[in-house]
């Protein structure tokens, strides 16, 4: 290897930092390795996807906190049976969405839904190709997602149980790949409809649509915002409800919890899907500023 190097004067090939600069030895690579090891330590504290917990566990977090939040949690408690937490690693939206969707498919065993989602996945694949992404950069992520989708269909040798789905969602080699799959799908949708998304992106980050996707959608750990949620919901034709738990309150005295439904753009919905159906999201995420967890309606 070294002998192929362009010729140098003797003594010029000295790339290790000398002892005179101890900070010179501590480089970005080291910083990044340190960051990865901190992430590993965090990982041991909380899995990518937690167990189902009653909403009382949420209330316990705010015991000495804002009374508005405790009131709101009481309201939530009437509507929702459980919460499933996700790790706060910047991927929580996609991770929660992944688990919630696959769990839904596993429970519903709706073959029409599976065909529908597969068709949308292929549309995303084509969109990435059209945008000029080399196939090898994204195909492994697509394959892995489609495998998970196949495996939640019951009655086959490869079928998995709900418990196994939890385990896979905690296994980095599956979980991160599916999250990355969703990031590719989101990026493709935003770029495909860049005229639609551009004003929202300008408001968020003042960059071009392409730059936004490269820096805020595709890299793992980049947090999701309205733009991401709108795009993934549209791209896959999956409605998503986001329930907001924050300190906002209304002056009339009563406490209510706001939510927003992301309903896929009509054009992307298959005609077979009834209008009442599409207004009824089967994925519900609880948003607290900076974080998403999964909610289970009663």
Q: Which is nearer to other proteins, 18 or 199 (CB)?
A: 18
1: its two tokens: 């290897």
How many residues interact with other proteins (rule CB under 8 A)? 43
What is the closest distance, in whole angstroms, from the C-beta atom of residue 211 to other proteins in the complex? 10
Here's the x/- map for other proteins, 62-91, by CB under 8 A: it reads as ------------------------------
Q: For residue 214, state whether it binds other proteins (rule: CB under 8 A).
A: yes
How far apart, in Å, do the first and last CA atoms of the chain sit? 64
Can 92 be counted among the known catalytic residues?
yes
For other proteins, the binding residue among 48, 101, 133, 182 (CB under 8 A) is: 133
Q: Tell the burial category of 273 from Cβ atoms under 10 Å away from its Cβ (0-12, 13-18, 19+).
A: middle
Distance of alpha carbon 35 from alpha carbon 77, whole angstroms: 37
Considering 77, 89, 225, 261, which one is annotated as catalytic?
89
Distance of alpha carbon 98 from alpha carbon 89, whole angstroms: 15
Q: For residue 51, state whether it binds other proteins (rule: CB under 8 A).
A: no
* Segment interacting with other proteins (CB under 8 A) among 78-86, 177-185, 189-197, 260-268: 177-185
Distance of alpha carbon 76 from alpha carbon 253, whole angstroms: 17
Distance of alpha carbon 255 from alpha carbon 70, whole angstroms: 10
Q: For residue 234, state whether it binds other proteins (rule: CB under 8 A).
A: no
Q: For residue 19, state whether it binds other proteins (rule: CB under 8 A).
A: no
Can 110 be counted among the known catalytic residues?
no
For other proteins, the binding residue among 93, 97, 142, 177 (CB under 8 A) is: 177
Instruction: Using DSSP bridges, classify how beta strands 240-244 and 283-288 pair: parallel, antiparallel or unpaired.
Output: parallel
Can 226 be counted among the known catalytic residues?
no
CA distances from 244 to 35, 59, 284, 286 (A): 30, 15, 11, 6
Residues near 216 by beta carbon (within 8 Å), at least 6 away in sequence:
204, 205, 222
For other proteins, the binding residue among 64, 78, 158, 173 (CB under 8 A) is: 173
Contacts 24+ apart (CB under 8 A), 30-36: none
For other proteins, the binding residue among 4, 44, 45, 156 (CB under 8 A) is: 4
What residues act catalytically? 89, 92, 291
Residue numbers at the binding site for other proteins (CB under 8 A) = 1-2, 4-9, 12-18, 21, 24, 27-29, 32, 36, 133-134, 136-138, 140-141, 172-173, 176-177, 180, 183-184, 187, 214-215, 218-221
């Amino acid at each position: 290897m070294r002998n192929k190097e362009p010729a140098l004067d003797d003594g010029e090939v000295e790339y290790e930092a000398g002892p005179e600069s101890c900070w010179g030895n501590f480089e970005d690579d080291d910083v990044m390795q340190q960051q990865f090891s901190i992430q590993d330590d965090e990982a041991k504290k909380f899995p990518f996807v937690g167990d189902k917990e009653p909403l009382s566990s949420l209330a316990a977090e705010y015991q000495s906190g804002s009374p508005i939040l405790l009131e709101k949690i009481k309201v939530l408690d009437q509507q929702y049976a459980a919460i499933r937490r996700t790790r706060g690693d910047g991927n929580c939206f996609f991770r929660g969405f992944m688990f919630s969707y696959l769990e839904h498919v596993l429970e519903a065993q709706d073959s029409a839904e599976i065909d529908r989602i597969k068709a949308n996945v292929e549309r995303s694949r084509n969109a990435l190709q059209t945008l000029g992404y080399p196939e090898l950069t994204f195909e492994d992520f697509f394959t892995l997602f489609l495998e998970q989708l196949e495996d939640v269909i019951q009655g086959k040798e490869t079928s998995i149980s709900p418990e196994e789905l939890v385990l896979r969602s905690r296994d980095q080699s599956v979980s991160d790949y599916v999250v990355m799959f969703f990031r590719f799908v989101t990026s493709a949708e935003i770029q495909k409809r860049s005229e639609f998304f551009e004003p929202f992106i300008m408001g968020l980050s003042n960059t071009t649509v392409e730059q936004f996707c490269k820096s805020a959608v595709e890299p793992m750990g980049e947090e999701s915002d309205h733009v991401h949620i709108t795009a993934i919901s549209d791209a896959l034709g999956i409605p998503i409800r986001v329930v907001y738990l924050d300190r906002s309150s209304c002056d009339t005295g009563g406490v209510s919890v706001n939510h927003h439904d992301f309903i896929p753009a009509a054009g992307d919905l298959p005609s077979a899907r009834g209008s009442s159906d599409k207004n009824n999201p089967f994925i519900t995420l609880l948003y607290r500023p900076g974080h998403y967890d999964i909610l289970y309606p009663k």
